[in-house]
Each structure stands twice: as C-alpha cells, then as structure tokens.
Amino acid sequence: MTPPRRLFDIAGAVAGLAVFAPVMLLIALAVLLDDGRPILFPQERLGYRRRPFRILKFRSMRDGRVTRVGRVLRASGLDELPQFFNILAGEMSAVGPRPLTADDVARLGWDERRFDFRWSCRPGLTGLAQLLGARADADALQFDRVHANRWSPLLDSELIAWSFAVNVFGKPRVRAWLRRDGGLSLVTSAVSATAAGDRKAE
C-alpha cells in the first residue's frame, strides 16, 4: 500500500470513529438489550495477499436468524462500523474489494493465480461491489480491478460519500439512485477505462 493511500485510510478511520462513536455506543446498547451478548461478531476473511484476518461487525444474527436490531443494521450498513478498527490495524482500507471468506473464494473459483490482482490491495469497508451489489461474478471482478489499478483520493471520496448515504437512507434506495444516469460519475469513467485496458491486453 502506498503511503498516500495509507494516510488517507488512517485519516478516514479516525474521522469515522469520531463521527460515529455515539452511534456505535447506541448500536452496542441496542444489540445488548435486544438479544444479549456478544455485541460484536468476528469472522475470518482473506485480506492483502490472501492473508487471513478477523473482520469485526456488530452481531446481527442469533442461531441462524437475523435479529430485530440486525435487520436495521444490515439494511443501513451500520453493522460494519467496527471495521474502522480493522482499517487502523492495517488489515483493511476505507475503500476496496469486498472481504471474502476462504469458502467464498473456493466457491467462486478465485483461488487461482490469475485472480491474484484482487489481493494486490486491501479489502474495503466500502467499495463498488458493496455499494452496487454486483449482479454477477464477472461484474464483481471488474469492480475489483478498479480498486486494484485505479485508486485515487477523488474516487475513494465519492464512494465514501455514497456509503454515508447508505447509512442514512438504506441500501435499496441508494442502489436505485446509483443505477440511474449520473450516479457515480468518477466510478463510471474508472470502470470504462479499466475495461478498455483489459481489452487492449487481450
């Protein structure tokens, strides 16, 4: 990871914790009152260079069922706020590919060396696949190429801004907005440029 990107991540995580600290305390209390302990749910995912790490989320399920508070957390993406600590630890970036489990990678067939580009950058708290909800594996890989090859502070800032919108308005509404003309202007150009580069390389 380049120093500018790491500094961007640290600054974003510190700012995120400062802004969301009261919200995180309320969520922790809501989880505790609704369904007891534990408040956090750690799970092993694959990160940079396929190294395993433990991602942190607010717990949203019990015995295989989504809890009442969990439904709200998942719809708004607020269950993922503890991942600011993963960013500070250097295990994640603010923006990047979706963090996957080893089982996910094996199921998708992305454990081959030709997919190593996906692990050339750290997984993200938010990202194209997380925001848009990739409808096909090929779309998800194309989004991951953008994160690996075309990082810029402006691009990350746009994705982070839309992620805040998800926290306020919910995933379905924001995804509908993004799929309309004019949504994610910087991302659209980055995806197009990445696709053009892939065609030249073929």
Q: What are the tokens at 149?
A: 């090859």
The model carries a pTM of 0.88
Q: For residue 136, what pLDDT band results from cuts at 50, 70 and 90?
A: confident
Is residue 32 within 8 Å of 70, Cβ to Cβ? Answer: no
- The alpha-helical segments, DSSP class H, found in the chain are 3-35, 68-76, 83-88, 102-108, 128-132, 137-149, 153-169, 171-178, 185-201
Q: For residue 201, what pLDDT band results from cuts at 50, 70 and 90?
A: very low
Residue from 154, 164, 2, 202 nearest 78 by CA = 164
Place of tokens 């997380």: 130
Q: Are strands 124-126 and 93-95 parallel, antiparallel or unpaired?
A: parallel
Q: Is 52 exposed, middle or buried (0-12, 13-18, 19+ CB in 10 A)?
A: exposed
Is residue 98 within 8 Å of 68, Cβ to Cβ? Answer: no
Residue from 139, 132, 42 nearest 91 by CA = 42
Higher-confidence position of 137 and 99: 99
Residue 54's φ and ψ, nearest 5 degrees, are -105, 110
Lowest mean pLDDT among 16-30, 80-94, 102-116, 188-202: 188-202
Domain boundaries along the sequence of the chain: 3-201
Question: 94-116: per-residue pLDDT in tens?
Answer: 999 999 999 999 999 999 999 99
